[in-house]
Chain A
Amino acid sequence: MREHEYYQELMSRLLDEGLSDAEQEELREHVRECDECRRVFAAFTGMTAALREDLDEPPVDLAGGVMERIRDEGQSVPDRQRKKQPVRKRHTWTRWAAAACLVLIAAGAATVSLRDRTRQDDHLPEAQNDTVFASLPEDADGSAADAAQTKLAGAPEEAMSAADAAPFDTPAPTTEPSPLPVYDAARNHIGSIAPENIPAFQALVTDEGWAEGSYEYMLRVEFGKKTYAFATDDDGGLVWWEEPDTQPLLSPGTFDQLRALIDMEAPALPR
């Protein structure tokens, strides 16, 4: 007989996308004979039904509140589009180097000089990069990703304030706000990275700088065969997307992967 876990995983899949006839029959046979799995089956179906039925009505003022805020402080989307258009194009990036500022601030360790970096240094050899990406742990069982998330949640506030004082060698244009918000926001998502792993992260950041004609300060990070761009949102929040797609990636999964990569695979990355 197979393990209970195998059958319970079948039960979960049955509730979501269904099973083949053979799988259903196999599950039915087992549940008929196994008290534990019968109990789990009752629990899975009972709580799934309850979750699916149990929807609350949203408060009546939800939509009104959103619209009020948009009228009070929202810049119209077309205005925003005009402002952001240039930043999507790779060639509009105006500055290079200073590539690990993000990490320096994240770690509160602003001692590594980045001024001499070149683009060539920034790129990982493709094959090595793939190997690293492919060796990311599966996150299903107590994953590095979740561990990283937990670590982030526990990050002490002191580290953040120390980081705020970190110097920049990429001064903001005189009429623009400082680039600090993008680092602040990125740090909040990426969390602290151990100082010894900073070079690993440096290898992932390929370029950064002010977007032409925009208040946005941007970073680009490559890992695996993917490239992610990060930029400040209008209110100092962070938006990021996978290039060449411009749709924002608002999931923390990307960062979890990135953190896991940095924390676990640093020795494999070039320094």
Chain B
Amino acid sequence: MTREQERVLIARVLDGDTDAFEALVRANEKGVYNLALRMLGSEQDALDASQEAFFRAYRSLDRFQGGSKLSVWLYRVTSNVCLDMLRKAGRRRESPLTDQDGRDLPLPDESADPQRELEKKELRRALRRNMAKLEPGFRQALVLRDVNGLTYDEIAQVTGLEPGTVKSRIFRARRKLAALLERDGNFFAAPSSDTTGGKGGGRDAGT
């Protein structure tokens, strides 16, 4: 959907054509749902959060001024709904919402050499499992970047943080996640320096 199409639909909704909102929902539901899913870790929670976010967006649509993309604004609404849910969950029980995907998965066998697709699936499950262990604010920045494809500046708009802080949060989230994944299943054995350096040198080079 182009910005212009978006603008026309928004104008129609503001003019009282409620049904026009459905096209805006459908154009943005994938991004909103995946943001909520990675933030909350459960499909049911993600569905609830997405619907709540669209509903809130509908009711505040007159405050959307077109200064950013509609999607970025919707991610802001969605993030807020998710963080609210995480806070409420945090008050109810000791741990926040955690992933329900593959919680009981056995750790991958490090010595095995499974097929590539299987490896990918394992990695995705492990990612979801370990994303839940990141602080919500750090998870949010990483998800907005890697799942929703936002720039640092756009994430700054969503979160109210400075772009420099966004950059730092994403870096720290990646570092933490990499450490968690390493502990979880040693997913990323370091390739030999040949593959990254383009020049022979061996693993002992420079150490």
Q: Considering the chains assembled together, what is the distance between the CA atoms of A57 and B124 in angstroms?
A: 15
Task: List residues of chain B with CB under 8 Å of any chain A CB.
Answer: 13-16, 18-19, 21-22, 25-26, 29-30, 32-34, 37-38, 43, 47, 50-51, 54-56, 58-65, 67, 73, 76-77, 79-80, 83-84, 86-87, 90-91, 96, 120, 123-124, 127, 135-137, 142-143, 145-147, 149, 151-152, 158-161, 165, 167-172, 174-175, 177-178, 181-182, 187-191, 193, 196-199, 201, 203, 205-207
* CB-based contact A35/B203 at 8 Å: yes
The answer to whether the Cβ of A96 comes within 8 Å of any Cβ in the partner chain is no
Question: What chain A residues lie within 8 Å of B181 (beta carbons)?
Answer: 43, 47
Q: Considering the chains assembled together, what is the distance between the CA atoms of A63 and B33 in angstroms?
A: 11
Mostly helix, strand, loop or mixed at chain B's interface? helix
Q: Considering the chains assembled together, what is the distance between the CA atoms of A198 and B190 in angstroms?
A: 53
Number of A-B pairs, beta carbon distance below 8 Å: 229
Closest Cβ of chain B to A136, distance in Å, is: 10
Question: What chain B residues lie within 8 Å of A246 (beta carbons)?
Answer: 63, 65
* CB-based contact A247/B86 at 8 Å: no
* CB-based contact A51/B147 at 8 Å: yes
* CB-based contact B65/A247 at 8 Å: yes
Most buried by B among A35, A233, A234, A254: A35
* CB-based contact A76/B63 at 8 Å: no
The answer to whether the Cβ of A265 comes within 8 Å of any Cβ in the partner chain is no
Q: Considering the chains assembled together, what is the distance between the CA atoms of A16 and B141 in angstroms?
A: 12
Contacting A32 at CB < 8 Å: which of B51, B90, B196? Answer: B196
Q: Considering the chains assembled together, what is the distance between the CA atoms of A50 and B87 in angstroms?
A: 28
* CB-based contact B30/A43 at 8 Å: no
Question: What chain A residues lie within 8 Å of B160 (beta carbons)?
Answer: 249, 251-254, 257
Question: What chain B residues lie within 8 Å of A250 (beta carbons)?
Answer: 76-77, 79-80
* CB-based contact A247/B207 at 8 Å: no
Most buried by A among B50, B87, B159: B87
**A–B pairs, 10, beta carbons within 8 Å:** A13-B167, A31-B193, A63-B54, A65-B51, A66-B21, A66-B25, A155-B91, A247-B63, A250-B80, A251-B80
* CB-based contact B15/A140 at 8 Å: no
The answer to whether the Cβ of A133 comes within 8 Å of any Cβ in the partner chain is no
* CB-based contact A54/B190 at 8 Å: no
Contacting A149 at CB < 8 Å: which of B14, B63, B136? Answer: B136
